[in-house]
């Protein structure tokens, strides 16, 4: 059974809940950075409406085993809400829109740039910037970009944890 908030957004997941627990591919620093991305063409994004309560969003994160949601309004992405943001806020009487990071403030990397980068470049970006998530934007036209994927710092760290994968 699909969670009702996903159906309300018109998204029918093609995955089982707790998909975040699936085995992630092991990575080396020299691998293409594209391998570190959750590609929304293969793995549809989880979204929440901006007017959902923070308490409900935390509950959905817990049940689905995820740490971030894209925040949507009228089928457009308006922000990113992470588990850290949700837990740090006082969830009583707050809505997702009150704690999310608006799209203009979300760290992003261009799809073409990501295609030319290696995992080591992502490690440098995450280490130097201190951010925990980056959205991957794919340019559609001069004025339109779409969210193609997401890169999680913690997931990348797990993928690199194996001693053999740390070798360049």
Domains of the chain: 4-13+28-166 (3.10.580.10)
pLDDT at 91: 61
pLDDT at 95: 93
Q: How far apart are CA 57 and CA 83, in angstroms?
A: 9
pLDDT at 149: 94
pLDDT at 22: 53
| DSSP H/E element including 73 | strand 68-73
Backbone angles phi, psi at 97, to 5 degrees: -60, -25
- The model's pTM is 0.75
| CB-side neighbour CA atoms (13 Å) of 45 | 26
CB-count exposure of residue 20 (10 Å: 0-12, 13-18, 19+)? middle
- CA nearest to 102, candidates 50, 46, 39, 37: 50
pLDDT at 53: 92
pLDDT, tens digit only, all 168 positions of the chain: 344 434 344 443 433 344 444 556 789 999 999 999 999 999 888 999 999 999 999 999 989 988 899 999 998 899 999 988 888 876 677 899 999 999 999 999 999 999 999 999 999 999 889 888 999 999 887 788 889 999 999 889 989 975 434 444
C-beta neighbour count of 112 within 10 angstroms: 11
pLDDT at 12: 39
């Amino acid at each position: 059974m699909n969670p009702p908030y996903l159906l309300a957004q018109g998204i029918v997941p093609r995955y089982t809940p707790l998909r975040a627990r699936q085995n992630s591919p092991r990575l080396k620093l020299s691998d293409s950075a594209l391998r570190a991305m959750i590609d929304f063409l293969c793995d549809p994004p989880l979204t929440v409406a901006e007017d959902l309560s923070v308490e409900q969003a935390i509950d959905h994160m817990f049940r689905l085993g995820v740490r971030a949601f894209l925040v949507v309004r009228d089928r457009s992405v308006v922000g990113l809400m992470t588990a850290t943001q949700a837990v740090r806020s006082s969830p009583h009487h707050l809505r997702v829109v009150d704690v999310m990071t608006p799209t203009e403030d979300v760290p992003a990397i261009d799809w073409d740039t990501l295609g030319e980068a290696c995992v080591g470049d992502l490690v440098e970006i995450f280490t130097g910037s201190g951010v925990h998530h980056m959205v991957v934007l794919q340019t559609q036209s001069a004025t339109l970009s779409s969210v193609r994927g997401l890169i999680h710092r913690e997931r990348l760290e797990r993928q690199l944890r194996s001693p053999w994968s740390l070798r360049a």
